[in-house]
Amino acid sequence: MADILAELETRRADARAGGGEKRVTAQHAKGKLTARERIELLLDEGSFEEYDMFVTHRTTEFGMAANRPPGDGVVTGWGTVNGRQVYVFSQDFTVLGGSVSETHGQKICKIMDMAMQNGAPVVGINDSGGARIQEGVDSLAAYGEVFQRNIEASGVVPQISMIMGPCAGGAVYSPAMTDFIFMVKDSSYMFVTGPDVVKTVTNEVVTAEELGGASTHTRKSSVADGAFENDVEALNEIRRLIDFLPLSNRDKPPVRPFFDSPDRIEDSLDTLVPDNPNQPYDMHELITKIADEGDFYEIQAEFAKNILTGFIRLEGQTVGVVANQPMVLAGVLDIDSARKAARFVRFCDCFEIPILTLVDVPGFLPGTAQEYDGVIKHGAKLLFAYGEATVPKVTVITRKAYGGAYVVMASKHLRADMNYAWPTSEIAVMGAKGAVEILHRSDQGDPDKIAAHTKEYEDRFANPFVAAERGFVDEVIQPHSTRRRVCRAFAALRRKEQKRPWKKHDNIPL
């Protein structure tokens, strides 16, 4: 018996050693943690239950029969984050470069199946050289099986991808189908074809960092939702994100203790909107002053900065926030901001997270570049996302809400539940200047008449009361009472039920 126990411990030690001391040292020299160190930081201490520690590949070609490391380059299992169950897989770059084999893929699929069955999020930590060339099509089949699990798990359990090293070729499509992707600056990258192939095919000379580094994917492509300085910061921030999310679509978002009165008055909000209608202000200030303890977890902070998305808590309960940002492009909607917000709204609706929309939007960005790139269809994504969402939806219009953009931003016409407006808000087809140019074109040569027409238009339409008279705005509220009104609105909507016509699925304008 003692010999058997000793053998077990020896085998465990071999598996935990990964690719050996030399390769672990090389991993640390790059500023990267090992697969197991990452899991230890992500999960609560002592909570990790590992599966398939002794699995090995079955390949015999190319001399692989003599190189069969236990675990086969990926560590899988489950544990807890602040006491809540999470499934995790972490690719081990020190073992065969973290390359994906048939059995490597099977290990990942097993825990994804268990996550769906048991209703818990999946966190995938990607650090891999790609498909294992020695296995050929078996490796590609493994990827395909993982992709299918990503599709089936979408909308069932939250899926979070951490890119903490290379992720190239077909491997990128698994993270691409998950709900959130985060990267580590200077040590992670994603691309379909690498710099060498790009140079051969297109004659472009580009580095791996320029082609698919964290800066590229958080600022230009929007593939990644955020980037962190190092592995430790990244894993701590993922723990924080998981605290906002429900375990599955069968659960409500978690309720946390809060120490912030729902009736808190913020007098500073009465002067947030400047007297000059063309002067910007920072919408972050409104979000943090509404949120419990001022806590805002922003998603895609570096992309399409003219719209803000992220999570706050109100009375301890998770709420998704979508807000126009007047500091950037006057808060106008464009292709990038519409895609960013639509994706976020659909995630919230998948997992029963209520949505708060803060509106200050002058319209859609004009220009040939936007029209040629399909702003009509991309803008329709946001319109569609809000219209199909059945979660509680509360909207606050702070200043401008013009034209089609007013309708798109969770208006009453898209079945928003509670629509509030500040006294400073203007809900109209367009601004006074543009309207007067159209309505009184014959008076354009007379500045006095134009000024009189402009004042008349502003007095009549540059306010929230016409919309309130029609019932399109439920209440005109004092800015300082916004937190109280929004908290009470969501409290009233906690048992909301909204039925939709039966359908297999919708056909969102992709």
Name the residue among 339, 343, 340, 345 with its Cα closest to residue 357: 345
Instruction: Respond yes or no: is residue 379 known to be catalytic.
Output: no
- The single residue of 224, 405, 435, 462 carrying the catalytic annotation is 405
Identity of the amino acid at 111: I
Annotate 230-278 with three-state secondary structure: CHHHHHHHHHHHHCCCCCCCCCCCCECCCCCCCCCCCHHHHHCCCCCCC
DSSP 3-state assignment of 31?
coil
- The single residue of 71, 124, 165, 169 carrying the catalytic annotation is 169
What span, in angstroms and rounded, lies between the C-alpha atoms of 261 and 31? 43
DSSP 3-state assignment of 171?
helix
Q: What's the number of CA atoms in the CB half-sphere (13 Å) around residue 24?
A: 12
For residue 105 the two structure tokens come to: 């893929």
Find the DSSP H helices in 94-194: 102-118, 137-153, 173-176
Q: Rg for the chain (alpha carbons), in Å? A: 26
Maximum alpha-carbon separation in the chain: 103
**Consecutive H or E run containing 335:** helix 335-350
Query: Alpha carbon of 121 to those of 40, 90, 117: distances in Å?
Result: 17, 14, 11
Name the residue among 168, 295, 186, 200 with its Cα closest to residue 244: 295
What span, in angstroms and rounded, lies between the C-alpha atoms of 138 and 483? 55
Instruction: Respond yes or no: is residue 170 known to be catalytic.
Output: yes
DSSP 44: P
Name the residue among 304, 311, 93 with its Cα closest to residue 188: 93
Instruction: Respond yes or no: is residue 304 known to be catalytic.
Output: no
Q: Cβ(182)–Cβ(161) under 8 Å? A: yes
What span, in angstroms and rounded, lies between the C-alpha atoms of 344 and 219? 17
- The single residue of 119, 155, 404, 434 carrying the catalytic annotation is 404
To the nearest 10°, the Cα dihedral for 382, 386, 510, 403? -40
Name the residue among 88, 90, 87 with its Cα closest to residue 72: 90
- The single residue of 170, 194, 316, 434 carrying the catalytic annotation is 170
Instruction: Respond yes or no: is residue 169 known to be catalytic.
Output: yes
Q: How far is CA 505 from the centre of its chain?
A: 22
DSSP 3-state assignment of 182?
strand
- Please identify every residue annotated as catalytic: 169-170, 404-405
